[in-house]
Structure 1
Amino acid sequence: MKTNKISTKIKLLGALFIVLMAMIIFTTVYLNDRNKKDALIMNIVGKERMLTQKISKNIFYLYYTKKTNFSELNSASDEFIKNLDSLKNGNKLIGISPVPNDKIGQQVYKVEILWKEFFHNIEEFKKLQLKNDESSLKLLASIVETVYNTNNNLLQEVDNLVSMYTVYTENKTILIKNFQYIAAFLIIILIVYSFIQLKSIEENANKFLEFSKKIANESNEQLTPISIDVNEKEILDVTDTFNCFINKINSAMNDSAVAMQHSQNASSKLEEITDEFDKVLDELENSSDVNRAINKSEDIIIQSTEDLINSTKKLQELRNELNNLVIGRKTKI
C-alpha cells in the first residue's frame, strides 16, 4: 500500500490553494485593467462614428451657408486620423494595444480605405469652397453629393467595427470570468478535500483513544495490538511503535509466566525427593556414616530448595513489575 505523509498533503494543499488564490487575484486585477482599456477603446471607436457624422454635418453646414471657416472641420478630421492610428497600431501613451485579431484588423483596414477617399473629398471641398466660378460650384455640388454617399458607407463600416470590438470584449470577459469560476470551484474542492482529510485524521486519533481506553479496561494479561487501516506514514509509524511496545510487554509476561511454572514444577519435584529422603532416613537412622552423608545431602537439598524459592519470589516480583508497567502505560494513555 502506498503511503503518504500528512505533512506532504498539507503542504501540497496549501500550495495549490495559494496558487489558485493568486490566479484568481491576478485575473481579477487583469480583468479590471482590461475593462478600463477596453472601455477606452470602445470610447475611441464610438467617437470615430460620431466624428464621421460631425464632419459630414459640418460640410453640409459650410456648403449651404457659404462659410469658409474650416477650423472645426480640420479639428474633427485630425482627431479621426489620430484615433484610427491608435486603433490600428496602438498607443502606449494611453495604454492601447494594436488590433487584437485579424478580423478586427481587416475591418480597421476597410475603414482606413474608406477614410482616405472620404478625406480626399474633404480636401477637395475646402479648395472648391473658396472659389465662386460656375465650374467650381458644379464640382463643389458633386463633391458634397459624394461626401453624402461615402459618409454612409464609412458610417456603416465604423458601426461594424464597433460591433466587432463589443463582441471581442464580451467574449474575453466571459472567458476570464469562466476561468475565475473554475478556479473558485477548484478552491471549493480543495476545501472539501481538506475537510475530509482532517476528518480522517480526527477519526484515526479517536481510534487511538478508544483503543487506549480498551486496554485500560481489559482484565486479561494479554494485550491486543491496535489495527488501523490508513495510508498516512506518520500514523502508521505511531501504530507500529505502539504495537511493538505491546508485543514486548506480552513477550516479557509470557516468559515470566513460563519461568514461574518451571520453578513451581522444580519445587514440587524437590519436595518429592525430600519425602523420599525422609523415608530413607527412617530406615538408616542407626548408621552414623550414612546419617552424616544423608544430613549433608539433606542440607544441600534444603539449600537448593531455598534457592528455588528465592528465584520464584524474584520471578514473581518481575511479573509484578511488568504488570505495574502495563498499568502505568494504560494510565498515561
Structure 2
Amino acid sequence: MKKVTSISTKIKVLGALLIALMLSVIAITIYLNQQNQKDALIINIAGKQRMLTQKMAKNVFYIHYSSNKDFYELNSAIDEFIEGLNILRNGDSVKKIYPVPTYQISLQHTEVNALWDDFYKNIQNFKLFTNSNVDRSAELEEIVTTIYRDNTKLLDNVDKLVTMYTDYSENKTNFIKTFQYAAGATLLLLFIYSLLQLRSIESHVEAIMQYSKKLISSKDITKLEPIEITAESETEILEASDTINCFIQKINSAMDYSNEALLQSERASSKLEELTDEFDSIIDELKDKSLTNKHLNNSEDIVIESTEELINSTRKLSNLKLELEKLTKSCQDTQT
C-alpha cells in the first residue's frame, strides 16, 4: 500500500530540503574558502623556509670567505626558520593555523626536522670555530663543506614539503569545486522534483474543479457519477473527493428512493382502479338486493377512499421528487 502524503507535508519537506541544502552549500563553501586562505599562508611560510635555508648557507660562505664576523643575519635567519618549522608542525592559535593536516606531511616534517638538527649543529660549530682564538682552519673547511652538502638535502626536502602543502591546498580547492557542482546538480534535481510534485498537485486539484463545473452544468441529475481520484493523491484531495462522492451518493439514493416509491404507488393505484371497476359490475348485478347493495356500497366507499389516499400519496411523492430537483437546480444556479 502506497503511503499518502498531504499537500502541506510535501511543501514543508521540499522547502526544508531546499533550505538545508542551500545552507549546507553556503556554510561549507565559506568554511573551505577560509581554510584555503590559511593554506595560502602556510604555503607562504613553507616557501619562506626554502629561502631561509639558502640564506643561511650564503651567510656561512660569506662569513667564512671574508673578514666579516657578523652573525646577525645568520642568527636572524636561524630564528625565523625555527619559528616557521614550529608553526608548520604545531600550528599557531594567533594566526589560526592548524597543525600538520595529513600523515604524509607529518612524515615529511620529521625528515626535515632530522636534517635541520644536523644542519643547525654544524652552523653552531661553524660560529664556535670562527670565534675561536685557536687556528681551526681545517675544521672550518670541513664544516663549511658539510654545510654546503647538507644544505642541498635540506633545501630539497623543504621544497618537497612546500609541494605537499600546495597539493593539499589544490585538492581542497578541487573538492570545493566538486562539492559545488554536486550541490548545484542536487539543487537542480530537487527543483525539478518540486515542479513535478507541484504539477501533480495541480492536476489533482484541476480534476476536482472540472468535475465540479460538470456537476453544476449538468441538467440530468437522475444518476450522477462519482468523481474518480487516484489512490496516490494527496490527503486533502482525497478528503475533498470523498466529500463530493458522499454528497452525490446521498442525492442518488434519494432520487432512487423517490422514483421507486412513486412507481409502487402508481402500481397500487392501478390495481385499486381495477378492483373498483369489478365492484361496479358486481353492484349492477345486485341492484335488487337492498341489503347486499348497502354493504357493497360501504365496501365501494372504502375502496374509493383507499384509492384517493394512494393517489394523494403518489402526488406527495411526485412533489418530493420535484423539490429534490428544485434543490439541485438552485445549487447549480447559485454556483453559476
- Note if 1:264 corresponds to 2:266: yes
Contact preservation (8 Å) 1:49, 1:159: yes
Question: Structure 2 matches for 1:250-329, cutoff 5 A?
Answer: 250-329=252-331
Distance in 1 between residues matched to 2:179 and 2:306, nearest whole Å: 89
CA contact under 8 A between 2:32 and 2:172: conserved in structure 1? no
Contact 1:88 1:99 in 2 (8 A): yes
With the length of structure 2 as denominator, give the TM-score of the two structures: 0.91
Q: Aligned runs of 1:91-110 on 2, under 5 Å? A: 91-110=92-111
Q: CA deviation at 1:101?
A: 1.6
Gaps of 5+ in 1: none
- Report the counterpart of residue 244 of structure 1 in structure 2: 246
- Which consecutive unaligned segments of at least 5 residues does structure 2 have? none
Other-structure match for 2:237 = 235
In structure 2, the residue matched to 1:25 is 26
Instruction: Give 2:282's aligned amino acid.
Output: V
- Amino acid corresponding to residue 43 of structure 1 in structure 2: N
Shift in Å, 1:210:
1.9
- 1:230 CA displacement: 4.1
Q: Deviations over 1:202-240 (max 9, x none)?
A: 111111122223333444320111112241333223222
* Contact in 1 for aligned 2:52/2:77 (Cα 8 Å): yes
Match of 1:157 in 2: 157
CA distance in 2, matches of 1:329, 1:189: 45
2:211 equivalent to 1:211? yes
Identity over aligned pairs, percent: 50
Over 3 Å counting, the alpha-carbon distance change for 1:230 and 1:136 in structure 2 is same
1:253, 1:319 within 8 Å by CA — same for their partners in 2? Answer: yes
1:54 aligns with 2:55: yes
CA contact (8 A) 2:36 2:172 kept: no
CA deviations on 1:241-293 (whole Å, 9 max, x unpaired) are: 32222122112111110100111111222222222333334334454434443
**What is the aligned partner in structure 2 of residue 2 from structure 1?**
2
Return the offset for 1:104.
0.8
Aligned to 1:224: 225
User: Residue 117 of structure 2 aligns to which amino acid in structure 1?
Assistant: K
How big is each residue's C-alpha offset from its partner over 1:25-48, in whole Å with a ceiling of 9 and x where there is no partner?
221121111111111111110111
Residue 309 of structure 1, CA deviation: 2.0
Q: Which amino acid aligns with 2:235?
A: K
Q: Counterpart of 1:82? A: 83
Q: Report the TM-score, using the length of structure 1 for normalisation.
A: 0.91
CA distance in 2, matches of 1:225, 1:242: 8
Indicate conservation of the 8 Å contact 1:131/1:137, yes or no: no
Structure 1 residues 328 and 150, CA, compared in 2 at 3 Å: closer, same or farther? farther
Distance (whole Å) between structure 1 residues aligned to residue 323 and residue 193 of structure 2: 47
Aligned length: 332
Deviations 1:107-161 (A, max 9, x none): 111111111111112212222332465x323332332222222211111111100
